[in-house]
A and B are shown apart, each in its own frame.
Chain A
């Protein structure tokens, strides 16, 4: 904190200086091992760069004078701040040595307050995934890695943070997805396309738990997931990632459904060129999979790019985009007795009902975004962004009409960050707009939704000393309009506090979350099981209050514990409801719910620093409260216990590890007969890796015990899958 006190003086001297120069060097750990992907930054400016695979960095355009350089942003290491003197046109070598720690107490996060801040200053619970966390899981899409974060669970592709969403066929996610801070939920269904980005373009993931509507508005009802893409390095670089593997066959002869082994494989190639002022990267890739069950083939193609123009140390324009195309067969529900060649079995989880044979989907999606950021002084930072997200799907159904939907979501935001006293107080204000246009034969033709919002949040330190307490308060007002109709307003306040003590850091927050109904929920019009699903344009936003008290502390220097008690009271939840008076299914605001529990994350290095272990546990009490004639009952598709255990042992370039996920049996499910099989989930992943220089190979045996289970009704989750991933960085 003493460093922060001298920041204004340092910045003042920097501004007074003339000319620029270059800083270069290496970032190593205390054993001399290079640390790739560490962020080296000039404090108070928009100058930053990541180290390459050799731990080297090169940062140009650094103004002459005295500046503070920082190196960090690597989970497992403490950040380092060094003051250096820059002489114009004289390159300076400056190496960093990062001290390892179980978990750095000061990783920088950018999602919780819409600005960079130390993790220890965040009033909400945050889970982080570094690029090494992602890499060691050897996944094809980013959701497979996020799935193992504490308190996070994916149910057939639908993300839940502390049980927020349940499972509603991908409609109306109660979690907001951001790509580099830009909202990316679908414009029609409100769901999330997790394959929107090439997995290797993602540098890290931040998961903010609890209602985040005070800054992010709709969809941040249960939390926010921010995918942060890699910085483009200076020089010519390339990155190749190739993966291949096989699916296990059913472990029981009665369930065998093919006479060959299903395979999957793919590759991504990223090439980049960067100067100090102008940088660009392009990624192309694709993968294909036979799938692990009948009619489960998938092809995926991807193109992504990022450009970066650093007009000055204080001004930066970033343009990025991605386009992905998927053609996949649709397994739909597994086959129940009589629905296929059941071989005398009550159900065949690897086969589908013959009525669904031939169904397949084409899904194209892409986004384009531009962000202009400027730091005109040490007290002011602002940024403006514009974005466009497009999704287009067509469901081909041999026995009925084909369904399609096209959605365009345009977004814009202007945000300012002010430090009025030049010290620890920060005020963030902004205005945001989102416009969605959809055309679909099942969402009632063409519709339009407008969202206009203004927000502000202030943070103020209380008291002095090296680690003062912080108070945060803010609110956001969202105005919504459908098809040009009247505006409706939703106000979402949030207050929070962080109190560092000698025994750790306490945090508390209370905030409101809301989710505007997706256009699909309002206007869906189709037929399910012979019943008409009818539109309900009068749907209102879901609302919730979330309270949280958390505590983080190191233990004996080799462990870190973060625990949070949370309580969410939700009202007007949107659910499909059978309206017996009009004999239709409609989405209606019917349910009140309570989600409360404990969220615990522990990381430790027992025995030796080479062994890193993690534990994530969530106890969830999720109840739908009584309403109308419905008595209080468990919320559907929520496990009471969610446990993740991990252990990784690293020796030189070799590493081996395991991860185990337990999810207790759902107390209640919907849209399936109670007689359908339901089991607890016990999945063990094994992994090993070898890295030498720019090359690395990883082997993942996901679901090593070939444990068969399902989350969504009659949808088998992946069987044992062996994957080998090769990465080469130039």
Chain B
């Protein structure tokens, strides 16, 4: 037994943090957003789907390239990694793609066919398709450049047309493989 019991103030260092920290700020329900959420860093927008979803669909991914790929070797220089798949059940989908600050020259939806890549990716041309990309508003034939600067960049909308997808060889013919 202590001859002079310490004051109850000794309990304060324990009680105060518990009370301060105990307020519940854990995971909470979060309704599907329609604009970039507050505090979010990345890009947001709506993906609209056209055409019939092929039966052989494994997934549709949304990725961003800091520079437009110059060769097949550049095709995996995308963010984020692992790539983020988007659901295709509805006719449209509002996405949020968390990526770091920077300039992105190609924000593209990639369709992936069921199946595994060969070890040397020699079958990538048959498994991957460009299904749609964010287009320059003044020249819709060209990819639009997106800049992320500490917040969410909104309205990066993309149309995915399952009837008009392009294989890798569309951009990089076999003769220009490397």
Chain A residues at the B interface, C-beta cutoff of 8 Å: 252, 254-255, 337-339, 342, 344-347, 349, 527-532, 534, 556-558, 578, 580-584, 604-609, 613, 615, 643, 645, 647, 658, 660, 662, 671, 673-677, 679-680, 682, 684, 705-710, 716
Contact = CB atoms under 8 A, between A and B. Distances in A.
Contacts of B80: 673-674
B93 A673 contact: no
A675 B14 contact: no
Q: Which of A530, A606, A647 has the most CB of B within 10 A?
A: A530
A606 B10 contact: yes
Interface residues of B, number: 55
Given A338-B86, A529-B83, A675-B97, A709 B73 contact: no
A642 B126 CA distance: 49
A102 B64 CA distance: 58
Nearest to A646: B14
Nearest to B40: A675
B171 interface: no
Chain A at the B interface: SS class: loop
Interface stretch (B16-24, B49-57, B136-144, B159-167): B16-24
B176 interface: no
Contacts of A345: 29-32
Nearest to B116: A527
Q: Please name the 9 residue pairs, one residue from A and one from B, whose CB atoms are nearest each other, closest first.
A: A338-B87, A675-B98, A674-B98, A606-B10, A708-B27, A708-B26, A346-B30, A254-B29, A707-B26
Interface in B105-145: 112, 116-117, 119-121, 124, 127
Contact of B84 (A531, A558, A673, A682): A673
Interface of B: 1-2, 5-6, 8, 10-11, 13-14, 17-18, 21-22, 24-33, 40-42, 58-59, 73, 76-77, 80-84, 86-90, 93, 96-100, 112, 116-117, 119-121, 124, 127
A711 to B, nearest CB: 12
A583 B32 contact: no
Contact of A252 (B14, B28, B73, B86): B28
Given A255-B29, A558-B6, A607-B8, A583 B76 contact: yes
Given A252-B28, A647-B14, A673-B97, 6 more contacts: A531-B117, A580-B76, A605-B2, A608-B2, A673-B84, A679-B25
A338 B98 contact: no
Given A580-B73, A645-B17, A674-B80, A344 B98 contact: no
Given A532-B117, A707-B26, A558 B97 contact: no
Contacts of A557: 2
22 contacts: A337-B87, A338-B90, A344-B31, A527-B116, A529-B83, A557-B2, A558-B6, A605-B2, A607-B11, A609-B1, A613-B14, A643-B17, A658-B18, A660-B22, A677-B27, A677-B30, A679-B25, A682-B24, A682-B26, A708-B26, A709-B27, A710-B27
